[in-house]
Every structure is written in C-alpha cells, then in structure tokens.
Amino acid sequence: MTPIKTDILVIGAGSGGLSVAAGASQMGADVTLLEGHRMGGDCLNFGCVPSKALLASAKQAYGQGHGARFGVADVAPQVDYAAAKDHVHDVIAQITPMDSQERFEGFGVRVIREYGTFISPTEVRAGDQVISARRVVIATGSSPLVPPIPGLDKVPYETNETLFDLREKPEHLLIIGGGPIGMEMAQAHVRLGCKVTVIEGMKALGKDDPEAAAVVLDALRGEGVEIAEDALVSEVAGQAGAITVSTQDGRSFVGTHLLLAVGRKSNMDRLNLEAAGVDVTRTGIKVDDSLRTTNKKIYAIGDVAGGLQFTHVAGYHAGVIIRSALFGLPSKAKTGHIPWATYTDPELAQVGLTEMQARTQYSTRLEVVRFDYHHNDRAIAERKTTGFIKVMVVKGRPVGVTIVGHQAGELINLWSLALANNLKMSQVAAMVSPYPTIGEVNKRAAGAYFSPRLFENQAVKRVVGFVQKWIP
C-alpha cells in the first residue's frame, strides 16, 4: 500500500486528539487521525458524559424522596437501574455525532480506525498503512489503573470502562478509591438505591482542600455512603454477589459488586515509543512546557502526558500545540489557571492554589476571604445552603479559589477567567450579578475582600464624617 504523507498525524480520537484534528484541518493542514477503539475516547464513552448522565438519574431519584420540605410529598423512588443505563447510553448517543468519523471526514481529516505504532521517529504503522508526518501528536489518553492487589485476578470487578454497561443493580457496591470518580459513582449509586462502601487508602478527595472535601464527605455519609479512610486494601476474595475486600489494618468489607477507581494509567503500551525516540516518566510521556516530547517533532497532549487529567485540559493542550505546530509560534502550556470540579451534590470546584498551597507560597502576604452559602438568598430558597467559597488573595489579585456547594462547577468559571487574565479583586467586585442567583456568592466573596478596608477603616470614616459635615 502507498505510504501516506501528512502534515499532522494525530494518534487518538478523544478530547485532545479531536480538538487538534478539527482545528488543524480547518486551518488548512493535511491531517490524519488514528483511533483504535471508539471515536470520542474516554470522556464521551466511559468518563465525563456517562458519569454525569448517571448522576442526573440519581438526582431525579433523590428529589423524589426529598420533596416534603418544599411542600411536595416524599415518595420512595422506583428506580429502574437498567433504564437509568438506557438514559446514560441515550445521552452518549446524542453527543456521538459531534465526535463521529463522518463529521471529521467532513472537515477533510483522513480518519483511520486502527491503533498506531511508531516504526521510526517520523513514521507510524496503523493496520497495513504506514504514515509519515511532519508533526505527530500523541493523544492516546489513559486507562483505569488496576493495582496488583492479591486476589483481584480471581474476583469480578468493574472499572469505568464496564460500569456504564452494567444493567443489574448492585445491591451493595464496594468502591476501591475515594477520588473524584469514586465519590461521584458512590453518590450516584446510593441515590439509585444501592448500598455503597468506599474504601480509600489515604483520605477521600485527598487532592482537594480538606475543609471543602469534608463538606462533600459529610453530605455523602449523610446519604448513607460508608467511607472508610486510611484503609489500604491488602486482599480481595470471593465471587460475584459475595466479594470481600480486606485492609491491612484488619478491616473487611463485604459487597455484591466491586468498582475499581484507584487512578489512571497513561496509554503508551501500543505506541512503541522507543522507535520514535520518545522518553517516558513514571506517570506518562515526558513533555516540556510546550508539550514537545524528547523527539521535537512529536507532541503529547491530554491524559497521556501525565499531568492534570481532564477533558478541558486535553482541549487546552490542543490549542497550545496548534499554535506551535501550525504557525511555528512559541507556545507554552500553563497550569495555574486550570480549574477542576467534582460533580457530587454539593459540587466541589478548584482553580489555582488551595489555601494550603497559597500559605506555603505566600505566607503572610496571603489574605483568605470567604462567603458562606447560607447567606445567599437563592440558596436559601432552593434549600441548598451547605457550602462556602474561599478566595486566596495576594496584593489584590486572586491566586486560588475553592468553592464547595450548589453549582460550584458553574461558579468557578468566573474565577477561571479572573486567574487566566490576572484580574484584580476590584474587577470582580465591580460586576453586577442578577438577584437572586447562586452566582452572587462570587461577588460577595470579592466584596468580603473590600469590606474591612471600607467599613473598619478609620480614615474612610473621617473622610465621610468630614464630607457630611462640611459639603452642602
């Protein structure tokens, strides 16, 4: 077969790869895209989309059982778990056309549905095709990490790649791993009527601000999720319907189903990176600030680059490398303005530094301002008063924001804008928010920065006193 010559070869049609392919082809580059599995990658098929869709089913179920305080009688929700999964797959199906082979071919992208393997620093084999490219973008994503726990090879377990196809409702779901994926799935399942136990080796939601994480964990415990922390798993035993997870400190947990949510492993095995002269680290492909690998003609973006593993990061990376690969312009990936959110109820969102990180970095120069949801009128009306925002401020500019509460994932957008553009607190405070919105929480937090400066400042009081006395 004649070798294909292309400007940009993209390996992996997930969030990152598709963004590069769409952008580069629409700007006139000849683009070839390889995908060995499903178009759309993890986010569409096994990640963000199905998890948020299942949480939406769970929210409906929860609402039915908690209407009385709004004057609407509580009813025990009749959950059809298989139908909830139908809903999940319907949502995926609605979004699938956006990521489809046909749509990308419509942009002029050459789509090859094969896994890619390097055979030289500039050539990749995909099926029986050999492709040589001016620039290669590796966007192969990540897979669920399966740790070497004794007994795991003999016990059936789910990962994010199988869970959304499971149609029988787990009576008691054991989840190993208390990170964002584990906690989202814990709440989804407890609300859908399953018993849920989370077994976490360290602290649940341990990468987040501990005070904010505690709010989420309290809420989940309040809904009946059992969360065992400092529970390092030593062994798994049993069979379908009766699985025992034992921990090093002698605890054991028995459930009907097991979900592994202990982290991610970068997808590098199939790539034969040695042939390309691409080095790897413990977490993924080694890249510099501009996302170039140790072979300067090859970039790595998204989860496989081993940094922050989110869809919006993969999309952001795509923009960074398009600038460099297409226009030859210097372009660097930054992390300080990247937000993330965990979509439990309440939600937990973060951008920039946490309070602890900011204290270490800025010490006494740091001011932390906060505002609690229970002072927000819309939150009161919706009975969603649990939560707070805290803003870490240095010299009048936010350097980090933590929000836990209703719609925290939406509220963080404003602070992402502020951090990305190095805005001042005064610019956020100048914004007028419609009343009554949850979004007023943001403005009030900015206001909290200025209140002591205005209301507790003797000089301000003297000026006002003078003006009132002497100016007609």
Single out the residue of 7, 30, 37, 357 in contact with ligand FAD (rule: CB under 6 A): 37
Stretch that binds ligand FAD, among 129-137, 188-196, 301-309, 462-470 (CB under 6 A): 301-309
Q: Which of residues 339-358 bind ligand FAD (CB under 6 A)?
A: 343
Closest separation in Å from C-beta 229 to ligand FAD: 21
- Put the strands of the sheet holding 252-255 in their side by side order: 233-239, 242-247, 252-255
245's CB contacts (< 8 A; 6+ apart) are 174, 176, 199, 233, 235, 236, 252, 253, 254, 255, 258
Strands (E) in 12-115, as ranges, are: 31-34, 110-112
Q: Which of residues 41-100 bind ligand FAD (CB under 6 A)?
A: 41-43, 46-48, 51
Stretch that binds ligand FAD, among 78-86, 139-147, 291-299, 439-447 (CB under 6 A): 139-147
Whose tokens are 């970039």? That residue is 299
Stretch that binds ligand FAD, among 14-22, 58-66, 236-244, 431-439 (CB under 6 A): 14-22
Single out the residue of 302, 339, 398, 439 in contact with ligand FAD (rule: CB under 6 A): 302
Single out the residue of 4, 10, 35, 158 in contact with ligand FAD (rule: CB under 6 A): 35
19's CB contacts (< 8 A; 6+ apart) are 314, 315, 318, 319
Single out the residue of 115, 118, 157, 415 in contact with ligand FAD (rule: CB under 6 A): 115
Rounded CA gap, 342 and 408, in Å? 9
Closest separation in Å from C-beta 16 to ligand FAD: 3
Closest separation in Å from C-beta 431 to ligand FAD: 26
Strands (E) in 39-176, as ranges, are: 110-112, 116-120, 123-126, 129-138, 142-144, 172-176
Q: DSSP state, 2? A: P
- Using rule CB under 6 A, residue 140 touches ligand FAD: yes
Closest separation in Å from C-beta 395 to ligand FAD: 31
- Beta-bridged to residue 79, according to DSSP, are none
Nearer to ligand FAD, 209 or 303 (CB): 303
Q: Which of residues 165-184 bind ligand FAD (CB under 6 A)?
A: 181
- Name the amino acid, one letter, at 234: S
Single out the residue of 6, 9, 36, 158 in contact with ligand FAD (rule: CB under 6 A): 36
Size of residue set near ligand FAD by CB under 6 A: 38
- Using rule CB under 6 A, residue 312 touches ligand FAD: yes
Nearer to ligand FAD, 10 or 215 (CB): 10
Whose tokens are 């071919």? That residue is 105
The full 3-state SS of 337-383, as one line of letters, equals: CCEEEECCCCEEEEEECCHHHHHHHHHHHEEEEEEEHHHCHHHHHHC
CA atoms within 13 A on the CB side of 36: 13
Q: Which of residues 209-268 bind ligand FAD (CB under 6 A)?
A: 267
Rounded CA gap, 84 and 191, in Å? 12
- Using rule CB under 6 A, residue 311 touches ligand FAD: yes
- Give the tokens for residue 258: 């097991």
Q: Which residue's Cβ has the minimum distance to ligand FAD?
A: 14
- Name the amino acid, one letter, at 209: D
Stretch that binds ligand FAD, among 222-230, 281-289, 299-307, 324-332 (CB under 6 A): 299-307
Whose tokens are 């460099």? That residue is 324
Considering only CA atoms, which of 305, 296, 369 is closest in space to residue 335?
Answer: 305
- Using rule CB under 6 A, residue 297 touches ligand FAD: no
In angstroms, the Cα distances linking 264 to 10, 254, 296, 305, 315 are 21, 25, 26, 12, 18
Single out the residue of 14, 346, 400, 405 in contact with ligand FAD (rule: CB under 6 A): 14
Single out the residue of 221, 270, 332, 461 in contact with ligand FAD (rule: CB under 6 A): 270
Closest separation in Å from C-beta 61 to ligand FAD: 20
Nearer to ligand FAD, 65 or 206 (CB): 206
Nearer to ligand FAD, 348 or 448 (CB): 348
- Summarize as ranges the residues that interact with ligand FAD (CB under 6 A): 11-17, 34-38, 41-43, 46-48, 51, 115-116, 139-141, 160, 181, 267, 270-271, 302-304, 309-312, 314, 343
